[in-house]
Structures are given as C-alpha cells and as structure tokens.
C-alpha cells in the first residue's frame, strides 16, 4: 500500500491514501480536514516545498479565537483523488474595499509581467475568509479545471486569501534598531 508523509511540527505520520492524519482527529487540535486541504490548495500551486517548510516553522493560524496552532502541510501526492488543473493564476493585492465589492491589483503568475486591475464582488469570497478582505491583503486567484475522483471535470475559479502571520514585537523592535544603524550609515544621524 502506498503511504504518504504528513508533516507536522515535531511530528511525522505515515499513512495510507484517504486516511485522516492523527492530528486532525485529535480533539484538542480543533482543526478541520477542510482547513488542511484549503491550506494546501491555496499555497502549493505558487509555493515551493521549501517555502512551505519555512512557513511551517514561522507561522501559526488562529483557532476560532481559542489560541493558535502551528501550520501543517501534507505532501502533495496525498490527495490524488480530486485534482485541480490550473490554467491561469494571479497574485492579487486588495487596493480598495467598498460596499460589497473590492478592487484589486493583479500580478499574472502564468504570463509574468502582465499587471491588471479587477473588481470583485465580496460574495465571491468564502464566508470564513471574508474578514480577510482589507486594504493591502494578499490573495491568489486560480482558474482551471476541477477533476473529481468520479471522473467529472468542471470549470472552476478559486479565490483564496493568504493568511499572513502576525507581526511580532521582536520584529518591530529589531527593525527600529536596524533603522538606527541605517540612518548612521548614510549620514542621517
């Protein structure tokens, strides 16, 4: 039987296709399987495994107001059943949010160099991500085909907001010290 490796901070688990990783089953984790899959699908197309590994070390995700959990990922071959074939990808930045819609600047990740601007209805965004629609927020827009395990192909458009980690006090304090050095080095102090 083919096995896959789930990568969790400080923990690895060999498992079979379709098996739910232990950390999802654990009641204390309070993490839904859909959250795992959404993290993977929103990041793997754009990010290398090294980037994901770095995020695993650095990022945490909020757990419905009950503390935070380290991020986790599963190797991509874990979900061979349903497949998304990407035809077009963008990275977007929210420039303006107004009465039920937002305007975003889009950087084409498929044909690099193209820059576009588009208006989206906030209804295009899933309810659990709607709080992320703020000026300066980053998202990915992916258009392609969703191939289901039953062999059905449907055209799909997926907008997923990137949950960036929060600023840490140490980062802010360090930046103030570094800024001081920079000002000295260019004769501004």
Partner 1 sequence: MAGNEINIPPEPDELEVSVFGPGYGESIVLHLCDDNWVIVDSCINPKVNEPAPLFYLNQLNIDLEQCVKQVIATHWHDDHIRGLGKIVKACPNAKFICSGALRNKYFTQLTIIYKDRTLLGSSGIDEFSEVFLALQERAEEWKNPTLAVADRILWKSSDSKSSIYALSPSDAAIIASEIEFEQFIPSAKQPKKRLLPANLNHTAVVLLAMVQDFSILLGSDLQEVGNPVMGWSVIVDSQLRPQEKASFFKIPHHGSENAHHGRVWEEMLMHQPIAALTPFENGGTCLPTKKDIERICLHTNIAYSTAPVGIKHKVKRDRTVEKTILETARNIRKINVSLGQVRLRMKIGQSPKVDIFGDALSLQDTILS
- Closest approach, Cβ 18 to partner 1, in A, equals 30
Whole-number Å distance between alpha carbons of 18 and 20: 6
Instruction: Provide CB contacts within 8 A for 146, sequence distance 6+.
Output: 82, 83, 84, 85, 153, 154, 155, 156
Is 116 near partner 1 (CB under 8 A)?
A: yes
Is 9 near partner 1 (CB under 8 A)?
A: no
- Footprint on residues 132-161 left by partner 1 (CB under 8 A): 134-138, 141, 143, 155-157, 159
Give the one residue of 12, 50, 115, 127 binding partner 1; rule: CB under 8 A. Answer: 115
Whole-number Å distance between alpha carbons of 5 and 53: 14
Instruction: Provide CB contacts within 8 A for 87, sequence distance 6+.
Output: 110, 143, 144, 145
Q: Which stretch binds partner 1 (CB under 8 A): 15-23, 36-44, 75-83, 170-178?
A: 170-178
Is 119 near partner 1 (CB under 8 A)?
A: yes
Closest CA to 29 of 67, 73, 75, 79: 67
Whole-number Å distance between alpha carbons of 159 and 122: 11
Is 180 near partner 1 (CB under 8 A)?
A: yes
Instruction: Give, rounded to a whole angstrom, the gap between the first and last alpha carbons of the chain.
Output: 66
Residue 27 or 187 with smaller CB distance to partner 1:
187
Which residues are at the interface with partner 1 (CB under 8 A)?
A: 87-88, 91, 93, 95-96, 101, 103, 105-109, 111, 113-121, 124, 134-138, 141, 143, 155-157, 159, 163-169, 171-172, 175-176, 178-180, 182-183, 185-188
């Amino acid at each position: 039987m083919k096995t896959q490796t789930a990568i969790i901070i400080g923990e690895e688990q060999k498992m079979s296709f379709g098996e739910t990783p232990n950390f999802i089953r654990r009641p204390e984790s309070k993490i839904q399987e859909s959250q795992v899959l959404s993290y993977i699908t929103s990041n793997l197309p754009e990010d290398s495994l090294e980037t994901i590994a770095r995020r695993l070390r650095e990022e945490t995700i909020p757990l419905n107001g009950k503390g935070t959990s380290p991020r986790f990922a599963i190797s991509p071959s874990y979900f061979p059943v349903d497949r998304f074939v990407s035809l077009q990808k963008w990275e977007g930045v929210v420039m303006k949010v107004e009465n039920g819609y937002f305007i975003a600047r889009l950087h084409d990740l498929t044909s690099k160099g193209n820059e576009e601007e588009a208006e989206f209805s906030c209804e295009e965004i899933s309810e659990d991500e709607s709080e992320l629609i703020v000026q300066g927020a980053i998202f990915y827009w992916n258009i392609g085909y969703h191939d289901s395990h039953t062999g059905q192909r449907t055209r799909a458009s997926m907008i997923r907001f990137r949950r960036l980690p929060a600023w840490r006090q140490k980062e802010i304090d360090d930046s103030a010290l570094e800024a001081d050095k920079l000002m000295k080095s260019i004769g501004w102090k």
